Amino acid sequence: MTLDRWFGRLPIDSPSVFMKLIPTLIGYTLAICVELLPGVAVVTAPVYLLVSLALMAVAVLLSTVVPWGRTAVGWALVVPVIALLAVGFLRLATGGGASPVSVVLLLPFIWIASEEGRYAIVVAAAGMLVVLLAPLVVTDVPDSPSDLVRAVFSPVIYLVVAAVINEIAHRLRKRLEASTAEAQQREELLAQAVRAQDELVLNEARLRTANRLIQSIWNAVTEQSVIGTDLDGLIDVWNPGAEKMLGLTEKQVVDGRRHVIDFHLESELEDRLREMDARFTTVSSADDFSALVDTVRAGYADVRDWTYVRADGKHVPVQVAATPRLDENGHRVGFIFVATDMTQAREFARLKDEFVGLISHELRTPLSSILGYLELMRDDDESPLSEEQLQYLGVAERNAHRLLRLVGDLLFTAQVESGRFPIDIKDAELRSVVAASVESANPVASNAGVTLVSDVPDAPVLVRGDPVRLGQAVDNLVSNALKFTPSGGTVTVSLAREGDEAVIAVTDTGIGIPAVELSQLSQRFFRASTATRNAVPGVGLGLTITKAIVTAHGGRLDIQSEEGVGTSISLRLPVETPKPVAEAVPGAERAS
């Protein structure tokens, strides 16, 4: 067992004071033993020896019992001062100034002088002065001049020595504190480094796990193609789904520096640019790419139908969701295109359209018969109906007409999807078309408390088209505007000629449409979220039919809207003879 472990087992609160006493205690014990040896003993005053032993016992007791760690620092000097006095009395007991144990005085003296604080210098010097002068005061031996000089001169020397010891101890203490602080700092840094290393190892393990999971998910996404590009459309991400859908490997695409527009139909990109009001003669790659990401650059996700072109030239109808690609700071560094193959969905839609067309045909006949018999009942002079019966009959007629209109719309949309619907091309004067629509909508506007304004030019505006179908398109726009405009609002129907185009614009001050939903308005049965929230009635076929009519006349539909402000929808028709995409069927009736 080492000495440190032995002292560590002592039941003391502050071992540091006791440890400092040990050198003095050892020197004192050795002096006692030497003085008590046979033939060496020079004890001249046993009383002083007993006092010395008692004082040393008190010093030992105080050093072990008193909790010096909880007392003021200066009080710890009590122990070395008592020890100094104990050695002083031992010196008196063994010959006074000529005692051989005087050298032991240096041990408590150095202890006192090395304590923190300049007052320790005074205490050490004063203690030595008392101890050195004591023999001259308490003994009867006459003092020689050398004794007097030594008694006065020695304390001065001890004062200087105490100052030097105190300063050296002070500097050593500061260096020790600095070293301790530095060591603690190194330990803290080491502990932080160890923790950081542990966290790094843990994060690396988590990252590897996450990477494996992401890679597994990435490899499992084979039914959707995921294409990532930079800001200019250059492809740098190509998942297995894209490889399956488009027939090229990631290495072929990325190493070949392929552009995302390489897999799009140029005609669709040009149509999209026309919708964006782009004017061009030669389409550049930058313009084509803008057709894909213009909405995303404006801060919105874009979901749109496109046609991909495979490596073997086969066309694949897809629905593409375009979103921004962000870095760790939230800055846009590219775009992500997630495409879903719509081949089966299109086939299901075609079958559904055929079914809807068949059902619509089958429903028109009994509905027409029902309306005919209702009219016969109303006009039966031999058995006239009562007022109450006529009221019931009116409700039945209105609902039958409403159902017939809905069946007509369904049949028309089915014909649109099949690429064949009736259209009768002739000279059409648009002022009369607009006037008829405004006149038909005036009662509805009055009942809704909406102001309906017509703004048409004095000069005729002629186009080649079907007046009935064009009137149907304008009727749909005016009807929608009135439904979405609260009481007190205004709906304006205007006609103007802009260059080689005739423009019919319907503008309202209604509830508006969110910008992110504008691209979906012409889809069948789509209803804006504002219409759903405000419980506006409708089935979502009006704009689908309108766009089909305008497209069949070689024109286009422009939509501008701001939620809470209003909507403006324009029909742009070429003034010169158009080339309709639908088959003309003479004698077509206008669907109401």
Does 431 lie in the same domain as 287? no
How many residues are given for the chain? 592
365 shares its domain with 250? no
- Round to whole Å and give the CA distance between 439 and 506: 14
Alpha carbons 488 and 450: distance in angstroms, whole number: 5
Q: What is the pLDDT along the chain (592 residues), one digit of tens a residue?
A: 454 554 444 444 444 788 888 888 888 888 888 777 666 556 777 888 888 889 888 888 888 888 877 777 678 788 888 888 888 888 888 877 677 777 888 888 888 888 888 888 888 888 888 887 777 777 655 455 666 666 667 777 878 888 888 888 888 888 888 888 888 899 899 999 899 888 888 888 888 888 787 777 777 777 788 999 998 889 998 988 888 889 898 889 888 889 998 899 888 888 888 877 644 434 444 467 888 888 888 877 788 889 999 988 899 999 998 999 888 888 888 999 999 888 887 777 667 666 666 666 566 667 777 777 777 777 777 777 777 877 877 777 777 776 776 666 666 666 666 556 667 788 888 888 888 888 888 888 888 888 888 888 888 888 888 888 888 888 888 888 888 788 888 889 988 888 888 898 898 888 777 765 665 565 555 555 555 555 455 555 667 777 778 877 888 888 887 877 888 888 888 885 444 444 443 333 333 3
Residues 400 and 284 in one domain: no
CA quadruple 582, 585, 586, 592: dihedral, nearest 10: -80
Listed in order, strand segments (DSSP E) in 187-234 are: 224-229
Question: 589 lies in a domain?
Answer: no
The domain spanning residue 529 has which CATH number?
A: 3.30.565.10
Pair 165, 98 in one domain: yes
Q: Is residue 388 part of a domain?
A: yes
Which has the closest alpha carbon to 300: 319, 321, 285?
Answer: 321
337 lies in the same domain as 355? no
Helix (H) or strand (E) run with residue 46 in it: helix 46-65
Last residue of a domain, one of 168, 188, 208: 188
Which residue among 418, 438, 462 closes a domain?
418
Structural domain contains residue 172: yes
| Domain tally, the chain | 4
CATH assignment at residue 242:
3.30.450.20
- Both 160 and 142 in a single domain? yes
Q: Do 39 and 175 have their domain in common? A: yes
Residue with tokens 């998910």: 217
Is residue 253 in a domain? yes
Domain co-membership, 395 together with 528: no
**316 and 430 housed in the same domain:** no
Q: Distance between CA 499 and CA 591 in Å, rounded?
A: 31
Domain boundary among 133, 162, 188: 188
CA–CA separation, 159 vs 148, rounded Å?
A: 17
In a shared domain, residues 19 and 98: yes
In a domain, 299, yes or no: yes
Q: Range of 474's domain? A: 426-574
131 in a domain, yes or no?
yes
| Contact between 297 and 334 (Cβ < 8 Å) | no
What letters, b where the CB count within 10 A reaches 16 and e where it falls short, cover 390-429?
eeeeeeebeebeeebeebbbbbbbbbbbeeebbbbbeebe
Looking at the fold, whether 528 and 386 belong to one and the same domain comes out as no
Our measurement of the distance from residue 109's CA atom to the centroid of its chain's CA atoms, rounded to an integer in Å, reads 69
| Same domain for 378 and 488 | no
Give a yes or no: residue 204 inside a domain: no
Domain presence at residue 389: yes
